[in-house]
């Protein structure tokens, strides 16, 4: 289902959707772009570069309460279900790299076994994507990992900005629903509109991005170099913070902890939080043994998970080329450079 929305009607569409859903869109907060709740009557511009934090938190929040517990007088514990009751949510301005990351997150959380917390959120959120027409940011490399500035994967709607209007393409039932519900705001698509869409998409592809020449060769090189000393060299400057993975749209590792709120009777919650392979306690054994005991082994884990292990398991790179881990690394660690160094074997 495709339609045309005049630019000055975007606000009206959002207002109509606010009758039945929470609306989120990128907002410029503290000099950074963040998905923020859109207030009644607020203006949404959709002129953002990518948000600092990805859209994954709408389906996989940093903290999820799995259940609450209460133990009284040595009786058996009483558990309370806390499966999330999620408000209908529509997220505008999702970039295609974050959309493609959602496909990867779905693989992890819904294939084989469906995670009820993830699924409940997923069922109630609509991702409205925005094709990247402007020149890419300096660390974008979506094309190298099989994506594109107008990829539809993982999105419910893809909007492409044209002169004074948007081409709006619904890609799922959820997407069709939010377009159809405000049907009178939209116009039919004419042949000239389709030409403009084609042009906008073609121009976007012509901008030069950072590139990795062959993902197959990179995967093979990573497989060959598991024990290579190059990892220590590449990670020499790594300070061991978690910015790269917490900002990644497809990183999904989590930790589970009990948070006790009262000692007698013992009450609290079992909580799932994001975990981070760059932290020293990640997968540390209870014996004290640490299978990834230095920054080299941890960097290897991150890169191999993105560009090798996920390919072996799911036949696609887990990385979608948003470039956040490069831009926000305090010391310039660069997955594109690492992939190319690996493939070319220049250190040998």
Which residues sit at the interface with another protein, rule CB under 8 A?
Answer: 29-32, 34, 52-53, 62-63, 138-139, 236-237, 239-243, 246-247, 255, 257, 259, 271, 273-274, 276, 279-281, 284, 286-289, 293-294, 326-334, 336-337
User: Whose Cβ is closer to another protein: residue 79's or residue 331's?
Assistant: 331
User: Whose Cβ is closer to another protein: residue 195's or residue 293's?
Assistant: 293
Smallest separation, CB 286 to another protein (Å):
6
Smallest separation, CB 251 to another protein (Å):
11
Smallest separation, CB 115 to another protein (Å):
19
Burial degree of 13 (CB within 10 A; 0-12, 13-18, 19+): buried
User: Whose Cβ is closer to another protein: residue 136's or residue 175's?
Assistant: 136
User: Whose Cβ is closer to another protein: residue 138's or residue 199's?
Assistant: 138
Smallest separation, CB 65 to another protein (Å):
9
Smallest separation, CB 137 to another protein (Å):
8
User: What is the C-alpha separation between 155 and 137, in angstroms, rounded?
Assistant: 21
Among all chains, which residue has been given the structure tokens 């209460």? 70
DSSP state at residue 299: H
Instruction: Classify the C-alpha dihedral 244-248-250-253 as positive or negative.
Output: positive
**Alpha carbon separation from 31 to 13, 34, 48, 52, 93 (Å, rounded):** 27, 9, 12, 10, 18
DSSP letters spanning 96-131: HHHHHHHHHHHHHHHSSS--HHHHHHHHTEEEEEE-
User: Whose Cβ is closer to another protein: residue 17's or residue 234's?
Assistant: 234
């Amino acid at each position: 289902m495709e339609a045309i929305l005049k630019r000055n009607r975007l606000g009206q569409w959002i207002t109509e959707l606010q009758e039945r859903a929470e609306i989120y869109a990128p907002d410029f907060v503290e000099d950074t772009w963040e998905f923020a709740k859109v207030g009644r009557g607020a203006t949404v511009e959709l002129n953002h570069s990518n948000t600092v934090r990805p859209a994954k938190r709408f389906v996989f929040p940093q903290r999820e309460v799995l259940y609450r517990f209460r133990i009284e007088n040595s009786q058996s514990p009483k558990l309370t279900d806390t499966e999330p009751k999620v408000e209908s949510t529509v997220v505008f301005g999702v970039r295609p790299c974050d959309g493609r990351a959602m496909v990867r997150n779905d693989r992890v959380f819904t294939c084989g076994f469906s995670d009820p917390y993830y699924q409940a959120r997923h069922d109630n959120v609509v991702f409205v994507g925005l094709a990247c027409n402007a020149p890419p940011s300096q660390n974008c490399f979506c094309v190298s990992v099989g994506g594109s500035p107008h990829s539809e994967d993982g999105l419910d709607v893809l909007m492409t900005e044209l002169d004074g209007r948007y081409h709006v393409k619904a890609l799922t039932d959820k997407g069709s629903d939010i377009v159809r519900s405000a049907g009178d705001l939209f116009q039919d698509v004419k042949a000239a509109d389709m030409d403009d869409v084609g042009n906008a998409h073609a121009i976007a592809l012509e901008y030069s991005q950072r590139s990795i020449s062959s993902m197959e060769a990179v995967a093979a090189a990573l497989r060959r170099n598991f024990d290579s000393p190059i990892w220590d060299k590449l990670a020499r400057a790594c300070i061991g913070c978690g910015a790269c993975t917490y900002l990644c749209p497809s990183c999904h590792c989590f930790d589970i902890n009990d948070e006790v709120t009262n000692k007698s009777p013992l009450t609290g919650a079992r909580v799932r939080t994001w975990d981070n392979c760059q932290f020293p306690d990640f997968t540390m054994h209870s014996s004290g043994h640490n299978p990834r005991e230095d920054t080299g082994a941890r960097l290897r884990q991150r890169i191999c998970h993105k560009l090798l292990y996920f390919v072996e398991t799911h036949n696609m790179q887990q990385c979608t080329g948003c470039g956040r881990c490069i831009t926000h690394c305090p010391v310039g660690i660069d997955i594109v450079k690492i992939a190319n160094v690996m493939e070319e074997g220049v250190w040998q």
